[in-house]
Amino acid sequence: MFIPLHDRNDLQHIDLQYVTLSLITLNVLVWIVSAVSGENGAFTNAAVLGLGYIPAVVNGLAQLAPGIAIVPDKATYVTYAFLHADFFHMATNMLFLWVFGDNIEDALGHVRFLVFYLLCAAAGAFAHGLLEPGSQAPLIGASGAVAGVVAAYLILHPRVRVWVLALGRLPLPLPAFIPLALWVIYQFAMVLVDHDSGISWAAHVGGIVAGAVLVIVLKRSGVPLFDRQIISPRAIEHKKASVPPTGKRWGR
């Protein structure tokens, strides 16, 4: 539907989104290692089976062959989110995280953002397993966690201008609620109509629901919802520096 490029949304509470950057770095590094091992490499196959979320295994309906399991079954609710099928899969997820993750980390704080991200990943896996409890196909990808970030951004900053590449070719500056709300609706619709593409729309929906709830619970007490004015020392300093003698304020 669209590719996010940039948002005009300054950080208010933190100087650097180092959790977001660390998550992106880790995902990229894991993909590089898997790419170096080759599409049919031993590392790739072992990682997907040992770290991917397999509903049948987690639900006790199937077992991995001896020596394949890398982490306890329940840990795959999170580990699956650091593996990707190919470069485009990884790059798209990381682009969404790059554009929207910093402001969610700013609103929640570093530690709570990490907890938020991992819980959204787990919620995505849970929703996938709920819809396909007997599936023996491994689920991989950060889409569930990133979907939670998108939902949180929609709740916190629906009116912020976001540059998006619409239809893969047309750059447009839009209020965030337009592309993000359409994206969310699309995920829910695809759960109902698409059962053959190999994409787990349920994981996206699980992440969206978790993100929408968790951002309200975990956000800083002074962070408002729906783009109301944020009162903070940094914001006040910025206002003093930007108000012209007429008393009018420049818009963002």
Per-residue pLDDT tens over the stretch 57-84:
999 899 888 888 889 999 999 999 999 9
- For the chain, domain boundaries: 2-242
Is there a contact between 142 and 81 (Cβ–Cβ < 8 Å)? yes
Strand partners, 4: 164
Q: Among 138, 122, 132, which Cα is nearest to 191's?
A: 132
Question: Whole-model pTM?
Answer: 0.86
- Considering the domain 2-242, what is its CATH architecture? Up-down Bundle (1.20)
Helix (H, G, I), strand (E, B) or coil at 170: strand
Residue with tokens 């790739």: 44
pLDDT per residue rounded down to tens, the chain (252 residues): 678 898 988 899 999 999 999 999 999 999 998 888 765 555 678 889 999 999 999 998 998 888 888 899 999 999 999 999 889 999 999 999 999 999 999 999 999 999 999 999 999 999 999 999 999 999 999 999 999 999 999 999 999 999 998 876 788 899 999 999 999 999 999 999 977 788 899 999 999 999 999 999 999 998 989 875 443 444 444 444 444 444 433 443
What would you report as the CA-atom Rg of the chain, rounded to the nearest whole angstrom? 20
Instruction: Mention every residue, 6+ apart, whose C-beta is less than 8 A from residue 223.
Output: 13, 107, 156, 230
- Six-digit token pair at 47? 């990682």
CA 119 to chain centre: 11
For position 105, what pLDDT does the model report? 97
Strand partners, 2: 166
Q: What does the pLDDT look like over 145-188, one tens digit per residue?
A: 999 999 999 999 999 999 998 876 788 899 999 999 999 999 99
Is there a contact between 153 and 136 (Cβ–Cβ < 8 Å)? no
